[in-house]
Structure 1
Amino acid sequence: MTQRIPREGRGLLDARPLTVERGVSRHAEGSAQLRIGNTEVLATVSIDHKVPPHQRGKKEGWLMAEYSMLPRSTQDRIARERNLQNGRRHEIQRLLGRSFRTALDLKPFRNQTLVIDCDVLEADGGTRVASVLAGYAALYDLSERLVQTGVLIHSPILYPVGAVSVGLVDGEIRMDLDYSEDAGASADLNVVATLDGRLLEAQGGAEGTPMDPDVYIQLLRAGIVGAGQLLAEVQRQL
């Protein structure tokens, strides 16, 4: 019989407590620190006054994201990620980059590259979705600063983006998985969506045993709703 994984007193579709603070870095053009449950991420936005070769001569700028986990963000120390070919790291960076490029109008940043650095300070599941939420908060911080200082007339944010993890654990659909739930899930998805319920990205699938397509759709729908809820909470605190 499968041992049931506890939910710390929250409902199956309830997220962990979330707190976010923007403007936490004195040096970065935009920044935010976000905590959801026991997962904590620091996100900063830097403006680099050049673009990659494929973007030269175009009317809009570029955006790229980097992701890393600090050595003691987990129970056991992990080595610093000096190997740039780390597959998981690149997979998460592509997720972050695609999400933020969709969310932002890059025309005001012609000949510039926005670099979003997401560093996991403490990990207990959901680090990539926490990075999406923290990265959005940092972009919001950047946008507010540029508007307030007169650099931009209006915010370049087109679509506020949220994210959440959902999974099938003990035959139940659960939202915002912590590490123990994620490790015991028979299927899981990381869902990135807009506040009005439009999908940007869904990343994940079954773990070992194929799942019915209807279950995938249920997970996806729960994730879209949950991503919107977490985004609304981030916006409330910004």
Structure 2
Amino acid sequence: MERVDKREYGMIRPVKITRNYIKYPEGSVLIEMGETKVICNASVEDRVPPFKKGTGEGWVTAEYSMLPRATETRNQRDINKLRMNNRSVEIQRLIGRALRSVVDFKALGERTITLDCDVIQADGGTRTASITGSFVALADACYHLLQKEMIKEMPIKNFVSAISVGVVEGTPLLDLCYEEDSRAEVDMNIVMTDKGEYIEVQGTGEKYPFSYEMLNNLLELGNKGTRELIEKQKEALGEIANIIGGSNE
């Protein structure tokens, strides 16, 4: 099959990571993956959830939302519905889990870093772009603490990125745009570290069950895509990348 944007089946979309995008947060990134654009802000606060008080450990959490005209038709804001969108809740939990998996909470100390992910334009892969961009914002926030001598070492031990894969018209594809995702027979999101370890795999046979062989094909594509994104993260972070525990530099 021919892809919407003429890419090869195993190619990711063009990626651009802009650091220090917003003035005030300790870490701020605009990540662009094709036509998908997400602002990821990392805010540091000297507080922790009740279950972390007195432990000497910190916490990392995330919030996710999509602007009303991030999509072709206007979405209602959550505040107007007096409850959070279930999809947003599920995605922000995923982002939080992904980032917490590579943070040494003892090294972070009793403080919380919150990643706010706001989708300003959606064309598929917003949750995976949010994870990939948030990692860079988190690294900047931790480096800010290091420079201020509020922590003694970089608390991030590995790089993390995420990518979507799927099957459209029987063909395994990497990094689906919205049009491809909406037609996918199999849809999967893969979160990995730079050591090739899996943090989370979310896979669904949208139209029919898929085989073990197909699963392996998709995992291989996901592995390729996440490694390419981690290289983009390292390029964006420059020298900061060298002090992250999982860096192979």
User: Which TM-score applies when normalising by structure 1?
Assistant: 0.93
Superposition pairs for residues 160-175 of structure 1, below 5 Å? 160-175=159-174
- C-alpha separation between the residues in 2 aligned to 1:149 and 1:50? 17
For 2:234, the equivalent position in structure 1 comes to 235
- Matched residue, 2:70: 73
Does the Cα contact within 8 Å between 2:107 and 2:152 map onto a contact in 1? no
Q: Secondary structure at the match of 1:15?
A: coil
Gaps of 5+ in 1: none
Aligned residue number for residue 193 of structure 1 = 192
- Residues 189 and 220 of structure 1 are in contact (CA less than 8 Å); yes or no, is this contact kept in structure 2? no
**1:210 Cα deviation (Å)?**
1.2
Residue among 43, 53, 56 paired with 1:56:
53
- Any gaps of 5 or more consecutive residues in structure 2? 238-249
Which amino acid counterpart does residue 200 of structure 1 have in structure 2? I
Q: How does 1:208-219 map to 2 (within 5 A)?
A: 208-219=207-218
- Kindly, what percent of the aligned residue pairs are identical? 38
TM superposition shift of 1:147: 2.4
Q: How far did 1:5 drift?
A: 5.6
* Cα RMSD after superposing both structures: 1.5
String of CA shifts for 1:4-25, please: whole Å, max 9, x gaps.
5624121101001000111122
Name the aligned partner's letter for residue 66 of structure 1. E
Count of residue pairs the alignment pairs up: 235
TM-superposed CA distance for 1:43, in Å, is 0.5
Contact 1:198–1:224 (Cα < 8 Å) also in 2: no
Q: Once the 2 structures are TM-superposed, how far is the Cα of residue 232 of structure 1 from its aligned partner?
A: 1.0
Q: Map Cα deviations across residues 77-119 of structure 1 (whole Å, 9 max, x no partner).
A: 1111224442211111111011000121221333321111000
1:37-56: CA deviation from partner (whole Å, max 9, x where unpaired): 00000011112222222222
Residue 122 of structure 2 is matched in structure 1 by 123
- 2:35 maps to which of 34, 38, 51: 38
Partner of 2:23: 26
SS of the residue 2:44 aligns to: strand
Find the aligned partners of 1:7 and 1:208 in 2 and give their Cα distance. Answer: 21
2:168 is aligned with 1:177? no
Partners of 1:163 and 1:231 within 8 A in 2:
no
Aligned to 1:107: 106
**Match of residue 139 from structure 1:** 138
2:240 maps to none
Tell me, in whole angstroms, the C-alpha distance in 2 between the residues paired with 1:141 and 1:109.
Answer: 13
State the one-letter code of the partner of 2:160: V
Q: Distance in 1 between matches of 2:42 and 2:220?
A: 31
Asked if the contact 1:163/1:228 (under 8 Å) is kept, the reply is: no
* 1:214, distance to aligned residue in structure 2 (A): 2.2
User: What SS does the aligned partner of 2:87 have?
Assistant: helix
Output one character per residue of 1:114-166: Cα deviation in whole Å (capped at 9) or x when no partner.
11100001000000000001100101211222223333333211111011000
Pick closer, same or farther for the CA change 1:33–1:129 going to 2, 3 Å.
Answer: same
TM (norm. structure 2) is: 0.89
Equivalent residue number for residue 9 of structure 2 = 12
State whether residues 14 and 175 of structure 1, in contact with CA within 8 Å, keep that contact through their aligned partners in structure 2: yes
Distance 1:80 1:127 in 2: 17
* 8 Å CA contact retained: 2:135, 2:160: yes
The CA distance in 2 between the partners of 1:174 and 1:35, in whole Å, is 19
